[in-house]
Structure 1
Amino acid sequence: MTAKTSTAAPQAPDAAGHAGEEAVLDVGPVAHGGHCVARHEGRVIFVRHAIPGEKVRVRLTDAADDAKFWRADVIEVLEASPDRVEHFWHPADSRRAWGHGHPPVGGAEFGHMTLARQRSLKADVLAEQLTRLAGFEQLPAAWAGSVEAVGEKYDGGTGLGWRTRASFSVTPGGRLGMHAHRSNQIIPVREMPLASGAINALRLWDLDLQGIERVEVAAPANASRPLVLLAPAPGTKDKRLRAIAAEVPGDVSVAAFDALTGDVTQLRGRTWVQESAEGHDFRVTGEGFWQIHRDAPGTLVGAVTEFLRHGDFLHPGAVVADLYAGAGLFTAVLADAVGETGSVLSVEGAPGASRDARKNLHSAPQVEVVQGRVERVLRQKPRNFDALVLDPPRAGAGKAVVGQLVASQPRAIAYVSCDPASFARDLGYFRRSGWDLAGLRAFDLYPHTHHLETVALLAPAP
């Protein structure tokens, strides 16, 4: 590694270390988290915006002398991978952004490579996590080893325009922006190519957002009324919030929300959106969870039901549960499958999402909606489950929940995960409890980012 001092303003060595310096690196394999690994003289450097096999010049961004590893962004490509392409979004292009004196925004960290290479690297990450955290010595036979493309009939193979939800910050000057990776710096934006046309059509970057700290936007794929959520800064008056709401164009609902409590206050229109999937409509209030990719609900429901039906775990009369159920996407489809002779226990910890689930599922007598922690509810309501559907947050279920799931003795579990590390960790807990991985599919529901979604079928070992 060669390095030279940056022309950036000097910082105290104990605070910044070598941050701001440049180095030339040979890029190694991809790692979980959206970066690649480079090494020099025992020092590990996690490099973003690179591709394995490249030689690059980087700017060190986190590089304290006593740190176990450093972080860096690519600012120049000296030997390019054949899979490198021009980035589709200038604010997220590391080379262009640093050329203008600031870091790139987050959210499109794989946009510099072909979609095929993105999916190949995501498959590498999943395989590595299964080996390191789940304890597989080689690629499990239950997985074909690939990450499947989703939504190409809508985006023409570009991987753009798939987000039906987007989150923005606000600059000190009141302009719409996004944070740089691992930074408090907010970069102004005037487009979001991964977001749907309905979100970009709002042109929120034209508004004066002074008094707002964060903006969340939901524009359902069914073309129903979008919702703009405004998180006010401390001290912002209601009059100011209503003035901003009045400036949002079109037939759009606007609400204020408390980022800590999730409480939502109506400013204009509704405080919720209506989503549609698999023949059902779903009310989702405020920041309530819904899959971001326009095709994710159908894709995930299809994978889950295919796994469960193939093993005869899902049929009329079956007893099933939907855990971390949110507004009830899986619950509604499970209720259809088990019919009125079966039963579905729907469990969600967030009070707002649980209220939405009650509204969405009120006409399904075979469904019981319970708000509470998954492990507590399973202890209080023991049943002979044919199957459980598990869709936890990014942090995964965890050891205690896995223990309770195993103790409830279902015939099978369909596990939906948006994080390969927490999924592999939980899978390791299941395997040590005598369960097997019976099926696994991986989906590219987040093109141009490092994220992926998996659906697994777990069953007790014979």
Structure 2
Amino acid sequence: MTPEQIQPNRKRPFRQGNAEQNARMQAWLKHQLAQNTRIRKTIELFCGSGNFTEVIAQAGCPHTIAYESSLGAILSLRQKQLPGVEAGVVDLHQPYVWKTLRKSIMDADTLVLDPPRSGLKNSRGFFESFASLKTIYYISCNPESFARDAWTFHKKGWWPSDIQLIDLFPHTPHVEVMAVFNKPDGLPAG
């Protein structure tokens, strides 16, 4: 980065700090998506500037809507012009966000979720808004918030079918959790 490119007091979009481990997380998601042959519409929450959106697009998911609260991150993602990807700015922690998004997410069968350390946090109305959801890919940077959200998923009838851990920052307590949740066939999504 040149001195001209440095802009003090400007928040930059989130970026994973360990490129090698990030590539492993992307490979995990790519593998998981390849196992799912029934993907029609994918929603990605907390997409940032497209770290996992690129994997979703490369996996051939026909229609993806990616949401993030940072306009700068969404503008970066849109510049990538990924096939089949729409990107929108939404504060995913606002109280009535799921009601606001219901029309665009209700027919999605696949969800990729990569929240900040606080986790999903706002699950009121979440499952009811995802009426057609079959598979959730959850990538978490905080095992505590992941455990809380996983318990919420379990109470709604979702079961983990795969859980992987990645030591993103060796010699620190930071661990990424990657999990796949499925709803047993025949049960409603909410």
TM-score by length of 2: 0.84
**1:447, CA displacement in angstroms?**
0.3
Other-structure match for 1:444: 167
- Aligned with residue 415 of structure 1, among 138, 160, 176: 138
Cα distance change on mapping 1:429 and 1:399 into 2, 3 Å: farther
| Structure 2 residue 43 is the aligned partner of structure 1 residue 321 | yes
User: Which of 28, 34, 40 matches 1:309?
Assistant: 34
Tell me the equivalent position of 2:20: 295
How far does residue 411 in structure 1 lie from its aligned partner after superposition? 0.8
Cα contact 1:438–1:456 (8 A) shared by 2 = yes
Instruction: Give CA-to-partner distance per residue, 1:257-286, whole Å, 9 cap, x none.
Output: 24xxx3xxxxxxxxxxxxxxxxxxxxxxxx
Question: TM-score by structure 1 length?
Answer: 0.36
2:52 aligns with one of 330, 349, 359: 330
Q: Shift in Å at residue 365 of structure 1?
A: 4.4
Of the three residues 52, 69, 85, the one matched with 1:367 is 85
Could you give the per-residue CA deviations for residues 297-317 of structure 1, whole angstroms, max 9, x where no partner exists?
Answer: 311111122223224355xxx
1: CA distance, partners of 2:155 / 2:77:
34
Q: Relative to total residues, which structure has the larger helix share, 1 or 2?
A: 2
Question: Would the aligned equivalents of 2:21 and 2:166 in 1 still touch at CA under 8 Å?
Answer: no
Residue 385 of structure 1 corresponds to which residue in structure 2?
Answer: 108
Bigger radius of gyration, 1 or 2? 1
* Match among 417, 432, 435 for residue 158 of structure 2: 435
Distance 2:29 2:14 in 1: 18
2:6 maps to 1:254: yes
Q: Give the drift of 1:399.
A: 4.2
Q: Distance in 1 between matches of 2:127 and 2:72?
A: 24
Counterpart amino acid of residue 147 in structure 2: A
* 2:34 and 2:59 in contact (8 A); partners too: no
* Unaligned segments of structure 2, at least 5 residues: 186-190
Calculate the aligned-residue CA RMSD, in Å. 2.2
CA contact (8 A) 2:168 2:175 kept: yes
Q: Give the secondary-structure state (helix, strand or coil) at the position aligned to 2:171.
A: coil
Q: 1:331 to 1:379 in 2, by over 3 A?
A: same
Corresponding residue for residue 151 of structure 1: none
Counterpart for residue 353 of structure 1: 73
CA pair 312-365 structure 1, distance change in 2 beyond 3 A: closer
Identical counterparts, % of pairs: 28
* 1:329 counterpart SS class: coil
Match of 1:453 among 173, 176, 180: 176
For structure 1, which runs of at least 5 residues remain unmatched after alignment? 1-225, 228-244, 246-251, 263-286
Kept in 1: contact 2:21–2:167 (CA 8 A): no
Per-residue CA deviations over 1:371-420 (Å, capped at 9, x if unaligned) read 1134445324134223110000011002426x414640311000000100
Q: Call closer, same or farther: CA 1:443–1:383 in 2, change over 3 Å.
A: same
Higher fraction of strand: 1
Aligned to 1:395: 118
